[in-house]
A and B are shown apart, each in its own frame.
Chain A
Amino acid sequence: MDEFDRLEQVGEVEWLLPQHGRMHVPGRIYADRSTLEQLRREGGEESAWSALRQVKHVASMPGIVSAAIALPDVHPGYGFPIGGVGAFDLADGVAVVGGVGFDINCGVRLLRTPFERARIVREIERVGEDLYQTVPAGLGSSGSLRLSMAEIDRVLEEGAAYVVRRGFGTDADLAYTEEGGRMAGADPAVVSALAKQREFKQVGTLGSGNHYLEVQWVERVIEAEAAAAYGLSEGQVVVAIHTGSRALGHQIGQDSLKELGAASARYGIDLPDQEMVCAPVSSPEGQRYLAAVAAGANCAFANRQVIAHLVRASLERSLGLPADKVETVYDIGHNNAKVETHVVDGVSRRLLVHRKGATRAFGPGREEVPETYRSVGHPILVGGTMGTASYVMCGTARGMERAFGSGIHGAGRALSRKKAAKKYWGADVIATLRRDGIRVWAHDARGAAEEAPGAYKDVDQVVEAAVASGLTRAVARLRPLVVIKG
């Protein structure tokens, strides 16, 4: 029976994949009908990539708790689906490489400025060109910050806190970064020399693909109380940085895939698919993996921190905007595995929560949320496409109960890169956006075609489903003015 035929609708945008076969728990999919239809088209019985089959795989892993969850931006990944969440018991559960992926702690930082949109529009050329020249992006780019091997170890252990100490930012940046910009438990000793060597030139670089730096403006405030708490108001200019742990994180992922592949066999874990290699959380291999993930996550925090510093320097040059007027709203990742406390069936438990292409979305009251945001929950930063919109959202009590405090991370692709490159021409995409007042600086025109707005799902529709799910609420809609792509 096709997995799609098993789905039972249990809410407006909530579907249950009942426990069957090797599943230990059911699958819970939050998606509108058009998303489900797309998943069915691209991931039928014959397809090698089915997001629904991946939900089933997650539900089949040892020690999974409650349900394997897919959020409204779900699409096929490797291992977990993108938009996938899986929480595991610390005693019986496993740490899964495919639950984090190669780009460990890839995420978004949002900076707010005191400027209004009109100010940027007047000087858009100067602002964009300076940012493009200042923030290294694209394949083979290298950062201006060169670290010794000993210093790379400090980055791995201390994350953004280390680079702030080196003068790249402020303590306030750390206060508004998930985990304070420093994940506990990181151990540089478990990170391979190869991973560290690959990092050498890449601190403070944006990368390529769907990574970006955007100057945006707050087009609409949807929820006033949360927007006020986040210091956001209509017309205000903000800057979004979307990037991750660069080559170091990628190499940790590649090394771990191999190490946990061997561990899965050693522990006799019956894998539903070879993509799901893992190790018991409590095993030496599992602990080693989590220490490496924490180190990779710290590298991503540090990377976004250095880029934020470069952005401040650039805006000071192009607009005369003092660096201390460019404040961090929040910095949050969407590829991670972290030990967190959650209430399951009325009992408070420590669990290993994997979020793959999913953002932590802790609602009101949690102690992990900065005090100034605690009454509304921390911001969730949802990347859209370069032509449409991005969103700031926030978590809810229902999201804490039903999805381990998780929310969407982006729009999700509607077209493969191959189809997008065939359908769009980079120069045309850039010219069309220019007519709409969006200026794009791209190192790779074909890349711009692959990232064309039409290659992604309608972010408004995805956010609508995320709101309808009750897991998260929309706070503000942001529109791009300047887009820097790798």
Chain B
Amino acid sequence: MTGADAGFVYVDHPADLAVRAWGRTTGEAFAEAARGLFAAMIDVERVAPAEAMCVRLSADSVELLLVDWLAALVAEKDLSGRVFSQFSVDVRLHVHGAELTASAWGESLDRVRHAPRLEVKGITRLGLSVREEAGRWVARYVADV
């Protein structure tokens, strides 16, 4: 992990896309996880945060919440044709699971300007984890590409 408070890296995986994302809070780690997802699909630096999408989700565990969050973004890309580059996520953990309220900012996919790359098929449960490590929240997931 680098010294940055929040960020993501791609981890070597034999075939698919493995991501490790981290932040000072669970929400920040979730936001970086989403940024890692879109950075694999497009050039996120060229995506203007022009429109916002709001998401509310709950799941039986914080790990499954991460899968639902990323899967919702993948689906939204096809439904609305929008891609996202900025994310603000608030995650609340409770005894029986976790919930989130999030906003994602982006714009309609431009097949030239956004330099489309890999298409993410789905978010797997392989190597899935969300936990606190050395004072930072770290989210790990593998996407099928």
Contact = CB atoms under 8 A, between A and B. Distances in A.
A139 B14 contact: no
B14 A42 contact: yes
A167 to B, nearest CB: 26
Given A49-B14, A139-B41, A197 B125 contact: no
A253 B74 CA distance: 13
A75 B14 contact: yes
Interface in B112-145: 115-119, 121-128, 142, 144-145
A82 B14 CA distance: 11
A261 interface: yes
B78 to A, nearest CB: 4
B109 A139 contact: yes
A75 B126 contact: no
Contact of A139 (B42, B126, B142, B144): B42
A251 B79 CA distance: 12
Interface residues of B, number: 38
Interface stretch (A20-28, A315-323, A377-385, A439-447): A439-447
Given A103-B144, A138-B116, A251-B75, A413 B41 contact: no
A444 B144 contact: no
A111 B124 CA distance: 33
Interface in A200-252: 201-202, 207-209, 247, 250-251
Interface string A245-279: 00100110110011001000000000000110100
Q: Which secondary structure dominates where chain B touches chain A?
A: loop
Interface string A108-141: 0000000000000000000000000000001111
Given A198-B75, A202-B78, A251-B75, A416 B125 contact: no
Given A208-B119, A251-B75, A419-B12, A274 B128 contact: yes
Contacts of A79: 124, 126
Counting chain A residues whose Cβ lies within 8 A of the other chain, the interface size class is 35 or more
Contacts of A416: 12-15
Interface in B88-132: 109, 111, 115-119, 121-128
Contacts of A207: 119
B31 interface: no
Contacts of A435: none
B16 interface: yes
A180 interface: no
- Which 5 pairs from chain A and chain B are nearest by CB? A102-B122, A139-B116, A78-B126, A78-B124, A48-B127
Interface of B: 10, 12-18, 41-42, 64, 67-68, 71, 74-75, 77-79, 81, 109, 111, 115-119, 121-128, 142, 144-145
17 contacts: A79-B124, A101-B122, A101-B144, A103-B121, A139-B42, A140-B116, A197-B79, A201-B78, A254-B123, A257-B67, A261-B125, A274-B125, A275-B124, A416-B14, A417-B15, A417-B145, A418-B10
